[in-house]
Structure 1
Amino acid sequence: MAATISGHVSDFVLGLDDSKSEIIAKDLFDRKITLVQVVECLGEFLTNPDQSTRKRGTQLLVQILQKLPTGLLAQKEVVHVTTFLMSKLSDHHSIQPHAVQGLAAVTTFTSFPGGEMCQQICSEIFKEIQNQSLSQSDRRCVYTIFLNLLSSHLTDIQPMGDTFVCGFVQQMDGEKDPRNLMLAFRCAQIVCNHFNLGAMEEDMFEVTACYFPIDFVPPPNDPHGITREDLSQALCQVMASTPAFAKYCYPLLLEKLTSDVQSAKLQSLLALIACLPVYQTTHLQEYLGSLSFQLMREVRDNSSEELVTASLQALTALITQLSKEAGQLAEFMAETLPDLLRKVESDSAAVRLPTIKLLRAMAAASPLACHSVALEPEVDFLTETVALLQQVADSQSPAMDWSILTECRGKVQELGDSLLASQVPQLQVLGMRGLCALSMWSSILPTEEVQTTVEKIQNKAVHANSDIVRKESQTCLRRVLQQQSQLADIIISHLTEELRANHGKYSSPNGRQIFDNSAALLASVAVNKDTAERVCKVFLQSLQTNSEGQEELLLPVSAGLATVLQSNLISSLVYTTEVIPSILSFLTTRCLKWPSEKQQLHATVLTQLTDGLRSGLLLQEKQVASQVVQQVCSLVVSGDPALLSAGGDSPGSNSPLQALSSWQQSRLVQLLLVVIPCLDTQTDPLVQRLLAHLPDVALQASDAHTRLQTCKCVAAIINRIPAGEPLESVVNGLHTKVTSHLTQSSDLDISHAALSLLTWIIKGLVVRGHKSVTGLIAQLISLLEDKVLGLKAAEGFSTILATFPDVLCVAVRATVTPTFQQRFLVQNLPRLVSGFHNAQPGLKEHYLLAVASMLTNVPQQVLVSELPQLMPLLVSSLKGGNSDLHRQALSTLTSGIKHSPDVLTAYLSDILPDCLHLAAQAPSMQERILALRCVGEMIQLPPAALQPHKSKVLSALKPVLDDRKRLVRKEAVSARSAW
Structure 2
Amino acid sequence: MESLWFRSELAEEVKQSKDVFKEIDNIVTDILDGRLDIVKLVENMAGVLTDKEAENREKGIKFFNKILQKLPKNYLNDNQVKFISQFYIDRLKDHHRVIPAVVEGFLIIIDMKNYNIMQTQDFFIVLFREVACQSQVRQDRFNIYCLIQNIFNKDHKYLTTLGPDFLYGFISSIDGERDPRNLLFLFTFLPTFLREVPLGHLVEEMFEVLSCYYPIDFHPSPDDPAPVTRQNLADSLCPCLCAVPEFAEHCLVLLVEKLDSSLRVAKLDSLELLRESCNIFPVKAYEPFLKTLWSSIRRELSHKADDEIKMMAHKALYSLVSKLSTSSNTDQVFETFVKGVLISMQTEIAESKTVAQFIQASKVLLTTANASKESCIIITKLMIPAVIAYYEFKPSSKLQIASIDFLGELFALAKNWEVLTEIDNQLKEIPQFCLAVASNPSKDYQIAGFKNLVLVKDVLDSHLVLPFIEILMHNVQYSHDEQLFNVSVDTIHAIGRKYPEMVMELVVKGKCDVYNMTINKDILNKHLKLLSNLASIDYFTKVIFSEMIRNINDSNEVAGKVIKAVNITISNSSLYSEQKLKDIESDYRLIDAILGWLSKTIYTESQEVLTNGYDLVANIMSSLPSEKQIDIISKYTEDIWRKTEKEEVYFNIIECLYRSLHQNVYSVKHSDIMRFSLNLSLHSNDNAIRSKACMLAATLLNKSELGQQFDCLYNVLNDLLSHSNEKCDSPRLLILYGWITKALIMRGSAEFTPWLQKIVSNMSSPEHCKPSSSAIRVVVGDPMCNLGPKQHSRLVFMYKQRLYQNFSVLTSNMGYMCPEVKNAYLTSWAYVLQQVPKSILNNDAAKLAPLVIDSLELDNKNLLLIMLDVLSHILQNRHLVLTGSLQTILPRLVRLSKFEKCMDVRIKSLQCLYIAACVYPTFFLRPHKQDMLLDLETTLDDSKRLVRRNAVKTRTRWFMVGAPGEAKEV
CA contact (8 A) 1:565 1:615 kept: no
What stretches of structure 2 of length at least 5 have no aligned partner?
1-352, 363-392, 959-970
AA partner of residue 814 (structure 1): S
Looking at structure 1, the residues matched to 710 and 528 of structure 2 have their Cα atoms a distance apart, in angstroms, of: 45
Aligned match of 2:441: 423
Which residue matches 1:262? none
One-letter amino acid matched to 2:838: Q
Change (3 A) 1:625 1:565: farther
- Cross-structure match for 1:772: 751
Question: Aligned equivalents of 2:640 and 2:841: distance in 1?
Answer: 43
Shift of 1:831: 2.4
Residue in structure 2 matched with residue 695 of structure 1 by the alignment: 678
Contact 1:784 1:790 in 2 (8 A): yes
CA apart distance, 1:521: 2.7
Report the AA paired with residue 680 of structure 1: V
Q: Cα offset for 1:965?
A: 1.9
Q: 2:620 aligns with which of 616, 623, 641?
A: 616
Q: Does structure 2 retain, via aligned residues, the 8 Å contact 1:920–1:957?
A: no
2:652 maps to 1:667: yes
The residue that corresponds to 1:524 in the other structure is: 533
Which residue of 2 is the match for residue 630 of structure 1?
A: 634
Amino-acid identity (%): 16
Question: What residue identity is the alignment partner of 1:931?
Answer: S
Give the Å deviation of 1:568.
3.1
**Aligned counterpart in structure 1 of residue 742 of structure 2, from 763, 766, 776:** 763
**1:620 & 1:611 partners in 2: Cα distance?**
15
- The residue that corresponds to 1:730 in the other structure is 713
Q: How far, CA to CA, are the matches of 2:488 and 2:950 in structure 1?
A: 35
User: What corresponds to 2:906 in structure 1?
Assistant: 928
C-alpha contact 2:552 2:559 (8 A) present in aligned 1: no
Q: Distance in 1 between matches of 2:658 and 2:518?
A: 31
CA displacement at 1:841 relative to structure 2: 5.0
Paired residue secondary structure (1:475): helix
Partner residue, 2:894:
916
In the alignment, the residues of structure 1 paired with residue 848 and residue 582 of structure 2 have an alpha-carbon distance, to the nearest angstrom, of: 53
Equivalent residue for 2:568? 559
Tell me by how many angstroms 1:467 deviates: 4.4
**TM-score w.r.t. structure 2 length?**
0.54
Which amino acid is 2:770 matched to? L
Q: 1:499 to 1:934 in 2, by over 3 A?
A: farther
- Please give the alpha-carbon distance, in whole angstroms, between the structure 1 residues aligned to 2:561 and 2:936: 47
Asked if residue 593 in structure 1 is aligned to residue 593 in structure 2, the reply is no
Deviation, 1:714, is 0.7
Task: Give the one of 884, 894, 898 matched to 2:872.
Answer: 894
Bigger CA drift: 788-797 or 496-505? 496-505
1:769 Cα deviation from its structure 2 partner? 0.9
1:475 aligns with 2:490: yes
Distance 2:444 2:823 in 1: 48
Does the aligned pair in 1 maintain the 2:742–2:778 contact within 8 Å? yes
Instruction: Choose which of 935, 950, 962 in structure 2 pairs with 1:956.
Output: 935
Partner of residue 274, structure 1: none
Q: Which residue of 2 aligns with 1:581?
A: 592
Q: What CA distance in whole angstroms lies between the structure 2 residues aligned with 1:778 and 1:436?
A: 55
Q: 1:500 to 1:967 in 2, by over 3 A?
A: farther
SS of match in other structure, 1:881:
coil
- Given candidates 371, 376, 381, the residue that maps to 2:403 is 381
1:494 CA displacement: 4.8
The alpha-carbon deviation at position 771 of structure 1 amounts to 0.9
> CA distance change for structure 1 residues 566 and 393 in 2, over 3 Å: closer, same or farther?
closer
Corresponding residue number in structure 1 for 2:832: 854
Q: 2:770 aligns with which of 788, 791, 808?
A: 791
Query: How far apart, CA to CA, are the structure 2 residues paired with 1:585 and 1:488?
Result: 32
- Residue 897 of structure 2 contacts residue 939 of structure 2 at CA under 8 Å; is this kept in 1? yes
Question: Counterpart in 1 of 2:885?
Answer: 907
- Which residue of the partner structure matches residue 289 of structure 1? none
Q: 2:499 — aligned with what?
A: 484
Rate the CA distance shift 1:945–1:692 in 2: closer, same or farther, 3 A. same
2-side partners of 1:909 and 1:580: how far apart? 63
Instruction: Give the number of the structure with larger relative contact order, counting CA–CA contacts within 8 Å between residues 6 or more apart.
Output: 1
2:855–2:867 CA contact under 8 A, matched in 1: yes
Deviation at 1:928, TM superposition (A): 1.5
Helix, strand or coil for the counterpart of 1:856? helix
State the distance in 1 between where 2:775 and 2:894 align. Answer: 31
Distance 1:560-1:439 versus aligned 2 partners, 3 A rule: closer
1:407-418 correspondence runs (5 A): 415-418=433-436
Q: Deviations over 1:443-482 (max 9, x none)?
A: xx4x455444444444444444444433433433333333
Separation (CA, whole Å) in 2 of partners of 1:798 and 1:693: 24
In the alignment, structure 1 residue 824 sits paired with structure 2 residue 829: no
Query: Is the contact between residue 699 and residue 707 of structure 1 (CA under 8 Å) also seen in structure 2?
Result: yes
Q: Deviations over 1:719-752 (max 9, x none)?
A: 122224653453244235336547648xx9xx32
Shift of 1:488: 4.6
What corresponds to 1:865 in structure 2? 843
* Counterpart residue type for residue 892 of structure 1: V
Cα distance in 2 between the residues matched to 1:576 and 1:675: 21
Is the counterpart of residue 680 in structure 1 residue 680 in structure 2? no
Return the alpha-carbon distance in structure 1 between the equivalents of residues 490 and 412 of structure 2.
13
Question: Structure 1 residues 374 and 758, CA, compared in 2 at 3 Å: closer, same or farther?
Answer: same
Letter in 2 for 1:788: E
| Contact 2:626 2:665 survives alignment (8 Å) | no
Q: Which runs of 5+ in 1 are unaligned?
A: 1-335, 346-370, 507-511, 638-651
Provide closer, same or farther for how the CA distance between residues 390 and 800 of structure 1 changes in structure 2, counting only shifts above 3 A. Answer: closer
Q: What SS is found at the alignment partner of 1:787? A: coil
* Partners of 1:791 and 1:774 in 2: CA distance: 20
Return the alpha-carbon distance in structure 2 between the equivalents of residues 612 and 867 of structure 1.
44
1:493–1:865 CA distance, 2 compared to 1 (3 A): same
1:715, distance to aligned residue in structure 2 (A): 0.7
| Superposed CA offset, 1:542-566 (max 9, x none) | 5556766997886445323544665
> 1:814 and 1:393, CA in 2 relative to 1: closer, same or farther beyond 3 A?
closer
Q: Displacement of 1:716 after TM fit?
A: 0.9
Q: Tell me: CA distance 1:560–1:862, structure 2 relative to 1, closer, same or farther (3 Å).
A: same
AA matched with 1:949: H
Residue 966 (str. 1) matches residue 945 (str. 2): yes
CA distance in 2, matches of 1:490, 1:557: 21
Structure 1 distance, partners of 2:755, 2:832, is: 17
Larger radius of gyration: 1
TM-score, reference length from structure 1: 0.53
**What is the Cα deviation at residue 824 of structure 1?**
0.9
For each residue in 1:496-536, what CA deviation from the matched residue of structure 2 results, as whole angstroms up to 9, or x when unmatched? Answer: 72688886533xxxxx3x44443333333244334234443
Is the 2:681–2:732 Cα contact (8 Å) retained in structure 1? yes
Query: C-alpha separation between the residues in 1 aligned to 2:802 and 2:935?
Result: 41
**704-713 or 626-635, which moves further after superposition?**
626-635
With over 3 angstroms needed to count, the CA separation of the structure-2 counterparts of 1:830 and 1:533, relative to structure 1, is farther
RMSD: 3.8
Amino acid at match of 1:821: K
User: Cα gap change, 1:544/1:878 in structure 2, threshold over 3 Å: closer, same or farther?
Assistant: farther
Q: Is the 8 A contact 2:680 2:693 kept in 1?
A: yes
- By how many angstroms is 1:674 displaced? 4.0
Structure 2: distance between partners of 1:872 and 1:383: 48
Please state how far the C-alpha of 1:847 moved relative to its aligned partner: 1.6
Q: Is contact 2:552–2:562 with CA below 8 Å preserved after alignment?
A: no
Determine the C-alpha separation between the residues in 2 that align with 1:572 and 1:386: 35
Match of 1:704?
Answer: 687
- Return closer, same or farther for 1:675/1:738 CA change in 2, 3 Å cut-off: same
